[in-house]
């Protein structure tokens, strides 16, 4: 199961609740935070680490740009939810997609499904939790306390590949921390307690 965090910024209470309601129906989304104004939300972005932000009005785009530059926030998928009809054709520069609240239900759902998919949501073939051989090797090394770099050297792969493996392991197992992964590895007899303590 994917584990996405979404933020809805919309000053209209009714519309905000509407978007939240729709987002809630997606299993991929774990956390949804709501804000009326972008100013309230910006300082919290580094903390919430959203994958997806729904926001309207292009007025603020400069501010977003300057705020985000140089900050470790990670990739955010911005969706423009301005109701203006004319926005449909040209997506504003700061947004990855435009989604007017005036669109029919199916269009909105389809677009959101696509986004979930792109953001690493559940797909049919991807839905098993079985770890691959490589992933098990990485998991064992993580449990022994090796860093990404050390694991990369040991396995003759790039640190980037190690990170990808780690992401997949976390997604498949639903465990994020090293301590948690270690417990999993011991429970499944992938490593012994002695190996960890040494």
Partner 1 sequence: MADLIHLNHKLLPVIGRFGISLGFGDSTVNEICRKKGIETAFFLEVVNAFHDPDYYPQENLRQFSLQLIVDYLRNTHRFYLDKKIPEIEEMIEAMIRDCYPGKEHIDLIKVFFGNYRKELIAHIEREEETVFPYALMVEEAFLKGSLTGEQREQIRKRSMKDYQEEHDDIEEKLYDLKNIIIKYLPQPQDVSGCTHILYELFYLEQDINDHSRIEDKVLAPKVEQMEKVLLERYPLSDG
Size of the site for partner 1 (CB under 8 A): 20
Of the pair 34, 96, the CB lying nearest partner 1 is at: 34
For the chain, how far is it from start to end, CA to CA, in angstroms?
Answer: 34
Does 122 engage in binding with partner 1 (CB under 8 A)? no
Q: Which residues contact 164 (CB under 8 A, 6 or more apart)?
A: none
Q: Which of 120, 125, 87, 115 is nearest to 23 (CA)?
A: 115
Q: Which of residues 179-198 bind partner 1 (CB under 8 A)?
A: 179-180, 183-184, 186-188
Of the pair 89, 197, the CB lying nearest partner 1 is at: 197
Tokens of 128: 């098993």
Q: Which of 82, 112, 106 is nearest to 15 (CA)?
A: 82
x/- track of binding to partner 1 for residues 31-60 (CB under 8 A)? ---x-x---x--xx-xx-------------
Does 128 engage in binding with partner 1 (CB under 8 A)? no
Contact with partner 1 (CB under 8 A) among 119, 163, 175, 190: 175
Collapsing DSSP to helix, strand or coil, 151 comes out as helix
Does 102 engage in binding with partner 1 (CB under 8 A)? no
Does 177 engage in binding with partner 1 (CB under 8 A)? yes
Minimum distance of partner 1 from residue 44's CB (angstroms):
6
Specify which residues 97 forms β-bridges with.
Answer: 79
Q: Are the beta carbons of 6 and 51 closer than 8 angstroms?
A: yes
Q: Are the beta carbons of 173 and 130 closer than 8 angstroms?
A: no
Residues that bind partner 1 (CB under 8 A): 20, 34, 36, 40, 43-44, 46-47, 173-177, 179-180, 183-184, 186-188
């Amino acid at each position: 199961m994917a584990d996405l965090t979404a933020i809805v910024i919309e000053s209209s209470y009714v519309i905000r609740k509407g978007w939240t309601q729709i987002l809630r129906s997606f299993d991929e989304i774990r956390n949804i935070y709501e804000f009326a104004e972008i100013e309230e939300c910006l300082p919290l972005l580094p903390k919430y680490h959203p994958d997806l932000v729904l926001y309207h009005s292009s007025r603020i785009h400069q501010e977003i740009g300057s705020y985000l530059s140089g900050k470790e926030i990670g990739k955010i998928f911005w969706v423009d939810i301005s109701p203006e009809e004319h926005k449909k054709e040209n997506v504003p520069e700061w947004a990855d997609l435009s989604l007017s609240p005036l669109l029919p239900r199916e269009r909105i759902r389809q677009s959101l499904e696509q986004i979930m998919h792109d953001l690493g949501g559940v797909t049919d073939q991807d839905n098993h939790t079985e770890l691959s051989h490589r992933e098990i090797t990485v998991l064992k090394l993580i449990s022994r306390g090796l860093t990404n770099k050390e694991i990369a050297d040991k396995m003759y792969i790039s640190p980037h590949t190690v990170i990808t493996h780690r992401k997949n392991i976390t997604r498949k197992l639903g465990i994020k921390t090293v301590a948690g992964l270690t417990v999993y590895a011991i429970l499944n007899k992938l490593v012994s307690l002695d190996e960890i303590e040494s």
